[in-house]
Amino acid sequence: METRTFPARPLRDLATTSLASTGVPEPDARLTADSLVQADQRGIGSHGLLRLPLYVSALRAGGINPRPTLTWVRRHGAVAVLDADAALGQIALDRALEHVVAQARHHGVAAVAVQNSTHYGAGAYWTDRLADHGLIGIVTSTTGPAVAPHGGATPLLGTNPLTIAVPTADDAPLTADMATSAGAYGKVVAAANEGRPLPEGWAVDARGRPTTDAEEALSGALLPFGGAKGSGLSVLLEALAASLTTAAFAHRTEDIWADRGARMNTGHLLLALDTDAFTGRAHTERKVSDLRDRVRACGATGTHVHAPGDPERRAAATAAREGVPLSPATVDLLDALATELGLTAPSDLPWTDGGTDTPGGGAT
């Protein structure tokens, strides 16, 4: 299904105003909006504006707290525990990131475990910010129950994402940002919205039979990537993201996709390593740049090999020139939300700006 492109600024404004309409303070709304639009710019539509109507309805229903009181439950040297009071996950991660940056500078390494949170968007939004500070960033999270362990048929685990970013000397960081399910849950939702089949091996139906039907997958379970290896990684990431706090395991949560008023008590773990505390930032970044260059150059004649993060950054460069790509199903969801709030719907935008903040030619 063909995507359409839209100017970035009005999309951010629509998301900001929509979130603010539920009582979210404007700075928090704008930060969250920026994370969603950036995901779409980077080609990660599963974590982009597709999520905005869900956030808004959950804020209205009480599943997400628009004005939380974030509390440090424990601070012990380089380690801290943050209670997010059911905040937007972006707000919780922003607070956690400020803490790990400061503490990593002091201790060389820092970690914040977060409890009582919600979805934080694409993990690269956070780890790349750490890389901008010269820090190696790692983040993982619990989610709602969606994934059957290897050999199982019951959605016991979350999609349990893992994101790692390592800074380089002369380019964007090397970044891997992935769910431990064969496909991200948001991609399955998008496929269901658009009537598209799933790739084989992504899911089973409610009876445990392999399916490529996205609706059947949502009623059944996703599968881990890589069979037993991905399943084992998913279990351990869930343990890391939940067991250090009072956060809930996936099988003990009500998914906010099914109940907008559910308090999911999502857990995150954010870690930062200060490269200056090891062999020095310049040394680390030179070595990582060399590794990146060798990865890119190792293909057969006439082929190109991507280093981690390359496809997303190429997508962002295209979006900067041509506009933010959205699927028709996502556009329909945003149009409905905008109409409800009396805002300009994406489909009614009279221009596109090639993704920048300056109006340009006709809509595409």
Q: Is the Cβ–Cβ distance between 174 and 314 less than 8 Å? A: no
Q: By the 8 A CB rule, do 82 and 92 touch? A: yes
Distances (CA, A) of 264 to 17, 168, 249, 255, 364: 25, 36, 9, 7, 39
d(C-alpha 9, C-alpha 358), whole Å: 8
Q: Give me the sheet containing 221-222, strands edge to edge.
A: 210-211, 203-204, 221-222
Greatest distance between any 2 Cα atoms in the chain = 56
Q: In the structure encoding, which two tokens stand for residue 263, read together?
A: 């308090």
Write out the DSSP string of 219-255. Answer: HSEE-BTTTHHHHHHHHHHHHHHHHTSSPPPGGGS--
Question: Backbone phi, then psi, for 301, in 5-degree steps?
Answer: -55, 130
Active-site amino acid positions = 119
Amino acid at 31: L
SS3 32: helix
Write the DSSP symbol of residue 208.
Answer: S
Q: Give the C-alpha separation, 211 to 153, whole Å.
A: 12
Closest to 265 in 3D by CA, of 280, 250, 275, 282: 250
The token duo for 185 is: 């849950």
Half-sphere exposure of 274 (CA within 13 A, CB side): 15
22 Cβ partners below 8 Å, 6+ apart? 56, 59, 60, 66
d(CA 136, CA 265): 27
Bridge partners of residue 110, in order along the sequence: 272
